[in-house]
Structure formats: C-alpha cells, structure tokens
Amino acid sequence: MGIAILLMGGLGLVVGIGLAIASKVFYVYVDPKILAIEAALPGANCGGCGFPGCSSNAEAVAAGKAAPNSCVAAGPEVAEAIAAILGVSVEAKEPDIALPGCTYGVADADTKYLYDGLNDCRAVALLNGGMKVCTIGCLGLGTCAHVCPFDAITMGPKGLPVVDEVRCTGCGTCERVCPKHIITLSSVTRRILKEYTTEDCTTPCQRACPAGINISAYIGAMAQGDHLRAVQVIKERNPFPTVIGRICPRPCENECRRQYVDEPVAINFLKRYAADYEMAQGKHVQPYKAPDTGRRLAVIGGGVQGLSAAFFAARLGHATAIYEAQEELGGLLRSAIARQRLPMAILDWDINGILDMGVTTHTGQQFGQDLTVPDLLSEGYQAVLLTVGGWDSRLTRTHGRGEASPAPGCHLLIDVAKAGSEGYPSITLNGHVIIIGNTHLTPELIARCKTLGAAKITLVTREAGLMAMDPTLADVRVAVGISRLHGQGKNLLGVELTDLESGTQEAMDANHVVFTAGRIPELIYTPTPNTAEGQASADVGYNGAWEAIPPYKQPAFHHETGLMAPGDVLTDFSAAIKAIAAGRRAAVSVHQVLYGMPMDLPDHVVAPDTPVQNVHHVDRVPVRLRQIMPLAAPAKCARGEECEKGYTPEMAQTEADRCLQCGLICYLREKDAPAPQTAVSA
C-alpha cells in the first residue's frame, strides 16, 4: 500500500511538473478586454455581425475592425457597455433593413428552366445565369429565406423574397448568400450614398434621370392611389418635386419603353400631380432621416445645389446651416425663370420643405466679405461646403460687378483682369500664383498677374499638348490636376498636384489659384487633421489650419481627378435637376470626408455609356395615348398666371396606368394575351 501511494504521488508530481512546464511553453495570452467584450455579448452566435460567433466578433471589436454596436441580436445597452470597456462613445445606430431589388421573378419569365436537384440560388447561378431571361434577376429558390437567422424573409407568391421589417435585424446574412446581389441591406444613409451599378435592377428612365429618381416606384404608388407615398419616393432623390414637375427637361421620358408602342409616359407631369397633391394637403411629407450624428456642416450658397446639399446632409443626420448672400433663398430659380412657368409660391413651398428637414438659414451674408471659411471652422463647424454657383448666379448678386472671393486665395480670371476697375474689387496677388484650366491665355493676362504682385506664375493644364509658352511669363505643368488645397486662416499655402497619367501626387507651395472659368469650383473645407494624434483639429480645438477637396465626380466622369476636370460644370448647371444631383453628391462627399470613407466610385457604376441589359421592343402592350397637359387661356398666361394647369385626378390615374412598371429588361405585359411558355430542363 505504501509503495502504491508513493508511486501515485510521484506520478502526480511528474504530471504536475509537466503541466506547469506546458502552461509556460504553450501559454496563449487572452486580452482581458476581449474577454470582457465577449461576456457583454448575448452569446447568440447567430453570425449576424458578419463574424463566425461572438468570440470572433469580440476580437474584431477589440481590434477596431468592428463597432461596439455591431451585434445585431443585442440592444443599445450592450453597445454602451462595450463602448465603456473600450473607452469610446457610440453614435445612434441607424437600422439596416434587407431590401429586395428585383420587381419580377421566375414566375413572370417567358421561358422556364427546370433545375433538378439544385434547389439553391448559389448553385443555380453557376449554370449560366439561372432563369436565362434576365441574367441579373432573382432566381426565386429562396436561399435568402433559408439562411435568415431571424425568420424575417419569406418567398412571396411571385417567387420574390418578402422581408418582415419587424423581424429583420439588418444582419446581412441574406445579402452575403445572394449570388445575384438582388437582396441587399438598405437604410437612409445607404440610399443617399448609393450610386447605381450594373448589379442593380434599374430602369431606362431611372438611369436617364440625373438625380436617379426611382420613377417606376413612384408611378406605381400613384397608380394605386397613394400619392403621398409617391412624393416620399421622389424626395428620396429630389427635394424640389413641385418645382421640377414644372421645369424639368425630362430626359427620362426620352428613354421610356412605351415609345416602342405609342408615346412615353408623362413622367414629369405625374411628378407634378403628386407634388401638387401634397401641397394641397398643406403639410410636407418627408423621406426618412438618419439619427443625429452630432456633426455640424455649413453650406455656402442657397441656390438649387446648396439647398439640395443641405437637404441631403440633414437627412444624413448632420446639423446643417445655409449661408446665402441674397435676402431670399432659391438662386436662379427665383431670378431667372418666368413666373408663368414657376410661380414663387411653388418655389417657396419646396424650399420650406427643405427647411422642415431641420436646415437652418442665414441670409444677407456675403461670403468672403461678411464671413469666411476660417470664421465658420472656428465656430465649430466640422466642414464647410462651397456651392456659390457660376456666372449667372453671380450676376444676380452683384448686377455685373465683381465680388470678394468666397474661397481663400482663389480667384476667377475675369476678376484678376478687371481688378480695381468697372466696379470690380481690387486684388493683391503675392508669392506664387497658379493659373489653372486654359492653355491659350494671352501674354497680357499672364502679365496682369505680375502687375498685381505675383512673384512667380505656374500654368497648370490637363491637356497633354500645349503651344510653346514664353518661359519668362510662366512655368507650365502639363497633364496634371489640382486635387487638394491647404492653408492657414485666410491664406492659401499650397496645393496638391496629381499626375493624370501615373496618379502620383506632389505638394506645391502656392499663395493664389486663378480659375479660367466662370465658377469657383465646389470645395469641401475641413480642419487639417492632426497627424500626431490622428484626430481632426476641430476635435481638439481649431488651430486655423484647413484643407479643401472637391466632391467626387458624377458617374460619367468618375475616373477623372482634380479641379476643372472633364464633366465638371464651368459656370451654372444647364438644368435644375442636374444641380440637385450635384447637391446630393456634394453632401455624400462631405459625409465621406467626416467619416474617413473612400470617395472612389466602383468601376461598374452606371453611366450614360455603360453597357446595361435593355430591350429595344415590347410585346403585348396595347396602344394607350398620352394624356395632354391642359393649358390656361392665353390671356391668363399673359397676365403671369401659370400656363400649364396640371392633370385632373382622372387624367393622372389614366397616365399612371400607362407605366409598364419596368425592371431591368422586364415590363408589364397585357394579362389577357399570355404568351406561350416553354419549359426547358437543365
């Protein structure tokens, strides 16, 4: 017995020593912060956060790869507890909802393909596009519904997913498994930030609209008698529905598929009817708005672009204020359009709708004279957006005279040429002056900069070929663009040049930039980041340093870089709807800058010349002629009353019913004349 006890004791001692050694050799340190975060999580292991379980999510949160509120199965108190562990604060999380992006399913396909034993969308997608009729359309096998961890998705009677918004947590599982990118996460912010890509089910009219309004959706709502819902859909992309319903050049109607049968749908007249219906109710119907972000934005210019940018920035959750030189907002909409086409009461109604979104205004404030960019940054604005318009806009402010530059160190060439004469303010140039844009300046204009005090002049041009320039007048930089400005207080200190061929960047000292155009470009000013601490200087007290960048380009020119690039507007916009689109892009750009998000558009973004699936004829669509807009008597029109009277309710219903409710290549066919269907096995 004694020997046995000794043996067991000795064995235990050996094992203990071995385990002690192994614990030292194979010891794995676990960050207590990770353990604390994992303990705070609910332990659901649903995968809705995008990581395989709560342990992985805790590691990602601790490493800064996931947010404290990334758990979709937990409430705000869990997010706050995790934030406390990390020593950070949590902004209000905007809910994400799964959004099906296809309007027609396999049930509506003319040719059926039967798949034996492959009851999964991901497998079927490997067979050359599945349903064959539309290689982008929904395959309808319900894989998204099968994998949803919260039973929030079912397959509807048309073979398309239906989302229960109460159950949906926005986990993104459905989005990750959909091989066609049909069902995606959606939110207010996502919809505002979105530029359409070739993966989206867009319609020809929607792609032709500069603002990208979901036209089939709002006309579909009107066809069902829900005019206020139609207005809400329109305002997702256009805060001026009542105005645009009267003055839009209607490029969308040029692409309407009804033209293959009779006449395009009166898209814009229907927009006007829905907006007038809202106005008749006396209360603005607003699209959804993101939670307050605690960030402040100043928009300089109360024209169409500035008002639109403020509207979308407010919807993104930012406290937004407009500063306008005139006593009234509206820009060229107020000063350049005949009252017979656009009564001022109509304009005021839409502007008040923008202000109702939470936008504040300061009128009678001449930027560059009464206040400056540094003034606003020192007041605590995290960003200042410059949207002062072009030459026509300036004429309404100055009646043909020049004005103080709204941008530190930036001037228009005409102001330099006429400085001190004809009512133009005097300009003093000093140091290094960069002239951007025109390769064919006369020597007299370049010499004018020197007479105003320039010590050095550099001509920056995007054009590869250039006539010989007298080196005594100016240096020349070819095939480069200005992509960033920076300065201190009211002074410009330098620019960033981007080589248009290689993409390389270089810094150049500069004291003034002269634009050979009729417009100071849109610029986003922010406090210069404090690189030592990785925080914006506005977070630790503005020290006077700033930088400025332009918003991202419109999709047709998204590969271009820098100021005054091809596609950039060189004076005022040719149509209000284009200014609205530019306002949204500017607001999105500010949002991206504030959050450090990339501003590059994907290569498959939809532009006018992008190859997109389409049809060039329609079948089984009966002829139904367009409703003609009723006109007022010529005498009333001559007295200043509106010339176009608007649709009656019966006319609007009839016209809305003409819409084919198109998808990418699908459209509504006559139900009483079904086409023969073919079943093909695969």
Over residues 458-514, the pLDDT tens digits come to 999 988 655 556 667 789 898 999 999 999 999 999 999 999 999 999 999 999 999
What pTM value is reported for the model?
Answer: 0.88
Residue 574 counted as domain residue: no
Spatial CA neighbour of 460 closest among 496, 431, 415, 418? 496
Q: Band the pLDDT of 441: cuts 50, 70, 90.
A: confident
How many domains is the chain partitioned into structurally? 3
Asked whether residue 513 falls in the same domain as residue 416, the answer is: yes
pLDDT per position as a tens digit, 509-532? 999 999 999 999 999 999 997 544
Q: Are residues 86 and 104 in the same domain?
A: no
Mean pLDDT (whole number) for 193-208: 94
Give the rounded distance of the alpha carbon of 494 from its chain centre: 29
Q: Are 389 and 300 in contact (CB under 8 A)?
A: no
What's the sign of the alpha-carbon dihedral 443, 446, 448, 452? negative
Residue 484 dihedral angles phi and psi, to the nearest 5°: -160, 145
Can you give the CATH number for the domain in which 498 is found?
3.50.50.60
Mapped onto helix, strand or coil, the DSSP state of residue 531 is coil
Backbone angles phi, psi at 415, to 5 degrees: -70, -35
Mean pLDDT of 219-234: 97
| 431, 502: one domain | yes
Q: Note whether 66 and 117 are same-domain residues.
A: no
What residue numbers bound the domain in which 47 lies? 35-90
User: Which of the residue ranges 138-142, 363-367, 538-542, 581-585 has the most confident prediction, judged by mean pLDDT?
Assistant: 581-585
- Residue 473: inside a domain, yes or no? yes
Would you state the pLDDT for residue 466? Answer: 54
CATH number at residue 69: 1.10.15.40
Q: Give pLDDT, residue 538.
A: 40
Q: Which residue has the higher pLDDT, 309 or 94?
A: 309
Alpha helices in 356-460 (DSSP H): 373-378, 391-398, 413-417, 443-451
Same domain, 460 and 430: yes
Q: Give the separation between CA 200 and CA 193, rounded to whole angstroms.
A: 14
Q: Mean of the pLDDT values across residues 322-336?
A: 95
322 in a structural domain: no
The answer to whether 260 and 618 have CB atoms below 8 angstroms apart is: yes
Report the percent of the chain where pLDDT is more than 90. Answer: 63
Q: Is residue 581 part of a domain?
A: no
Indicate the burial class of 329 (C-beta count within 10 angstroms; 0-12, 13-18, 19 or more): buried
Q: Is the pLDDT assigned to residue 670 strictly greater than 90?
A: no
Q: Please state the separation of Cα 163 from the chain's center in Å.
A: 25
Q: Are residues 84 and 102 in the same domain?
A: no
CA dist 159 → 105, 132, 156, 180, 506 (Å): 6, 15, 5, 15, 55
Is residue 103 situated within a structural domain? Answer: yes
Residue 80 clears pLDDT 80, i.e. is over it: no
Indicate if the pLDDT at residue 539 is higher than 60: no
Task: Assess whether 118 and 161 both reside in one domain.
Answer: yes
C-alpha to C-alpha distances, 226 to 232, 278, 361, 433, 529, nearest whole angstrom? 10, 11, 32, 58, 48
CB 163 within 8 A of CB 152: yes
For residues 382 and 536, the answer to whether their CB atoms sit within 8 Å is yes
What is the pLDDT, as a whole number, of residue 16?
A: 65
Q: What is the pLDDT of residue 535?
A: 45
Are 481 and 507 found together in one domain? yes
- Confirm whether 436 is domain-assigned: yes
Residue 77 lies in a domain: yes
**Same domain assignment for residues 80 and 147:** no
pLDDT recorded at residue 107:
75
Check whether residue 173 and residue 74 sit in a common domain. no
Q: Could you tell me the sign of the dihedral formed by the alpha carbons of 323, 325, 329, 331, in that order? A: negative
| Torsion 235-240-245-249 (CA) sign | negative
Q: How does pLDDT run across 597-623, given as a tens digit for each residue?
A: 999 999 999 998 899 989 999 999 999
Q: What is the mean pLDDT of residues 224-241?
A: 98
pLDDT per residue as tens digits for the range 267-304: 999 999 999 999 999 999 999 999 999 999 999 999 99
Neighbours of 536 (CB within 10 A): 18
